[in-house]
Amino acid sequence: MFPAALLASTFPSKTLGATLFAFREIPSTNSFALERIRCNPAHGTLIIADHQTAGRGRMTRNWFSPPEVNLYGSLLIRSTLPGRYAGWIPLLSGLVIGKTIEESTGIRIDLKWPNDLLIQEKKVGGILCETALGFDGSPWVVIGFGINVNLPENHFPDELRMTMTSLHQISGHPWDRLSLLQHIAGSLENIWTGQDWPALSRLKKLYGESCSTLGQRVQVHYPDGSRITGVAASLGEEGQLQVLPSPSFQGGQSDRIIAVHSADILHIRKIHILDE
């Protein structure tokens, strides 16, 4: 478990983590955060746990959350952002956390749209953003992050071994979880105290530079089970993925872009675009 004194000094008198809940074990930090919204929490409340017994991922999946090896955290934010930015909150959170891990470890992190953190096409972390209204009707966002830090390869369940990785697995040595958490918290604090929230055009550019989905042939898996295949062409103004479908999906009319707001994306293969 993270030592309590060290944790307290990690977040001295800042907005983010000024209210901090640290659990040895909890079903899900996101579920706890959503419950707190009813109690008018402090903006920037941070909830972390050493072990989740019912960790949740995107698309109602479970998030594998064994004890004492990884990072599981949820940040509670009272969002005052204009509505057009709402779709960018999960994307920017993924971008910031990915960049922070990259800077702290020297390991290159790619983003798979919308916010999977990948190393060499395997998932090392994920973000689950959930929204709810406070008792006074104010909009709250829970930004949940799970990072596989020190999990050795043979400790993943069989069904995850091919698709998941950890920082330890990639580098061959363990990492200081507290230090990583401090860095992530610092970066998120900069965003949510309003200083570093980039303009939309810059956000698109920054996200595009880290997002390995763009330019790839992808299969889009919708929550209702339907699928389309195409090329991930660009990002829309609200952070949606714009996909140019393969001709077979539109009776030969493959020039109509489809906007994807919520889905799982499978990378099929990289398309190399050569400069003329």
Residues that bind ligand BTN (CB under 6 A): 28-30, 52, 55-58, 61, 63, 72-74, 116, 126-128, 144-146
User: Of 115 and 169, which has the nearer Cβ to ligand BTN?
Assistant: 115
First to last CA, the chain: 55
Which amino acid is it at 35? E
Nearest distance in Å: CB 202, ligand BTN: 25
Q: Cα angle at 86 between 47 and 230, to 5 degrees?
A: 110
Angle at CA 209, nearest 5°, toward 214 and 106? 120
| Smallest separation (angstroms) from ligand BTN to the CB of 104 | 18
Least Å distance, CB 48 to ligand BTN, is 8
Which of 178, 66, 181, 57 lies closest to 126, judged by CA? 57
The residue number whose beta carbon is nearest to ligand BTN equals: 126
Name which of 20 and 127 has its Cβ closer to ligand BTN. 127
The alpha carbon of 164 is separated from its chain's Cα centroid by a whole number of angstroms, namely 14
Tell the smallest beta-carbon distance from residue 55 to ligand BTN (Å): 4
Phi-psi region of 187 (alpha: psi -120 to 50; beta: other; left: phi over 0): alpha
The CB-of-206 to ligand BTN minimum distance in angstroms stands at 20
Judged by CB, which is closer to ligand BTN: 23, or 85? 23
Residue 10 or 52: the one with the smaller Cβ distance to ligand BTN is: 52
Q: Are strands 20-23 and 45-49 parallel, antiparallel or unpaired?
A: parallel
**Which is nearer to ligand BTN, 94 or 230 (by Cβ)?**
94
Task: Report the DSSP beta bridge partners of residue 241.
Answer: 235, 260
- Say whether the peptide bond before residue 114 is cis (omega within 30 degrees of 0): yes
